[in-house]
Amino acid sequence: MGDEYDLAIESIERIIFSMNDAVKEMWSTGYTGMMVSVGRVFAGEAGKKSLATDIPSILNEVSEIFPGMEFEVKDNKIVVTRCIIRELAGKGVTEIGGPLCMFMKGYLMKMLELVEGRRIKLDISMGEQCEITMR
């Protein structure tokens, strides 16, 4: 059974690699803004069903939607403690700061706007763990 999962995971990773390349080739560097917008659109849909009223609870909801993502709020910063995109980047499937990161940025931005009730901007520092600051 374990082998079957490994085989399935490997094939999905290869498809992600190919699709990620397709997105980059199609829009060149323009994918950055586009993927942020797509993330915002998807979060807008998911946000309609959200019951969260504060930042930790909305981050929990995002973790439930994307099981590979985990967040923690520390000193007014949101720390990404677990990130499936980073794991994929470690395997060379995608890259940090690529289309998937931009999607997640847009998604988080919109979700946080829903609980904050105002337009916000996110500053992301990409270190060993990404840290997100809201403005």
**101, 115 contact by CB (below 8 A):** no
Indicate the residue among 41 and 126 with the shorter CB distance to other proteins: 41
Which residues are bridge partners to 77 per DSSP?
74, 133
Residue range at the interface with other proteins (CB under 8 A); choices 50-58, 71-79, 96-104, 122-130: 96-104
CA dihedral (89, 94, 98, 103) in degrees, to 10, reads: -100
56 binds other proteins (CB under 8 A): no
19 binds other proteins (CB under 8 A): yes
Q: How far apart, in whole angstroms, are the C-alpha atoms of residue 3 and residue 19?
A: 24
Torsions phi, psi of 79, nearest 5? Answer: -100, 130
- One residue of 59, 80, 99, 110 binding other proteins per CB under 8 A: 99
Chain residues that interact with other proteins, rule: CB under 8 A: 2, 5-9, 11-23, 26-27, 34-35, 38, 41-42, 65-68, 84-85, 88, 99-100, 103
